[in-house]
Amino acid sequence: MSETIQATAEKIRKLQVQGARNVAIAAIKAIQTQAEQTKAKNKTQFLVELKEAQTIFYASRETEPLMRNAVRWIITQAQTAKTEKIGELSQTVSATSAKFLKKLDFSRERTAEIGAKRIKDGSVVFTHCHSSTVTRLLAKAKADGKNFKVVCTETRPAFQGRITAKELVYLGIDTEFIVDSAARTFIGDADMVIVGADAITSEGNVVNKIGSSGIAVLAHEARVPFYVVSELLKFDPETMKGECEKIEQRSPSEVWSEAPAKLSVRNPAFDVTPNRYIHGLVCEEGIIAPQTIVEVMRLRYPWVF
């Protein structure tokens, strides 16, 4: 078994690698490395190695459809490659991986471009947590010469909102920073909400950082459109088959390191925003109704099913 795979999976497990995107990239690179260093004697052995890597990565984190879809794709390509030669298979995995990484970059860029058009000059954008795609989108809108303000939550317990705030200030975007509980007070002044996604289910519901669904309800109450910005490959094909997205329960100490002994600290990492609260899903394909995610996936990424 490849040490790279084990080591990478370990890092993912321990949250040393974080964010749907980074996790996917790490897994792809590890598989690339394994393929290059393979000692497999034939295609069968080569595929077994890949399958083992898949098993290990799938077990490393619960809610990572992007990584799973990436791994699934690379394996599919190797399986269907019309060669039995290890060198060529290794080459295929390598090329496929590189292509996937490029595709990821392209998806983010395309998504950011599309979404940036929805930012109006003089408007106020509300966001939650940190998403590199959301930052990219806002940077694009800024670069397009639009002036707008962003309200961003601190996003307890890990304060990812501070990363967002720093990035936005660095980009010269007028930014307001609030505690999570101030969402209802500030959402009324916003013209739109934009958040990222960790996973998208077959009904078009979105799994994202804890607090997102509450903000969606408040946006609905205040008639502020709530957009989700995400690569299509965050779609989780398992939900189609009935599986629920697992919601990771993280360490209590993230919330309160010196909590009283008998206190039960609950720390779910994500929540689920129902499709009816989502105004539009901005993805590389364009802006779509989230309910149609399955049809769009069938068209663009039929191999995920």
> Which are the catalytic amino acids?
129, 198
- Sole binder of a second copy in the list 6, 13, 166, 253 (CB under 8 A): 166
String marking each residue 85-124 x if it binds a second copy according to CB under 8 A: ----------------------------xxxxxx-x----
Site string for a second copy, 234-253 (x = CB under 8 A): -----xxxxxx-------x-
Rounded Cα distance between 13 and 239, Å, is 22
Question: For a second copy, how many residues bind (rule: CB under 8 A)?
Answer: 86
Token pair belonging to 243 = 């599986």
Beta bridge partners of 287: 282
**Could you give phi then psi for residue 194, rounded to 5 degrees?**
-130, 125
Restricting to residues 252-281, name those near a second copy by CB under 8 A: 252, 255-256, 259-268, 271, 274-276, 279-280
Residue 10 or 286 with smaller CB distance to a second copy: 286
Instruction: Indicate which single residue of 15, 18, 81, 157 sits in contact with a second copy (rule: CB under 8 A).
Output: 157
Q: Are 25 and 105 in contact (CB under 8 A)?
A: no
In contact, 267 and 157? CB cutoff 8 Å: yes
Distance of CA 145 to the CA centre of its chain: 27
Query: Which is nearer to a second copy, 39 or 258 (by Cβ)?
Result: 258
Applying CB under 8 A, the span of 16-24, 51-59, 89-97, 150-158 interacting with a second copy comes to: 150-158
Neighbour-count burial of 50, counting CB atoms closer than 10 A to its CB (0-12 exposed, 13-18 middle, 19+ buried): buried
> Is 146 one of the binding residues for a second copy (CB under 8 A)?
no
What residues numbered 29-58 form the site for a second copy, per CB under 8 A? Answer: none
164 alpha-carbon distance from chain centroid: 15
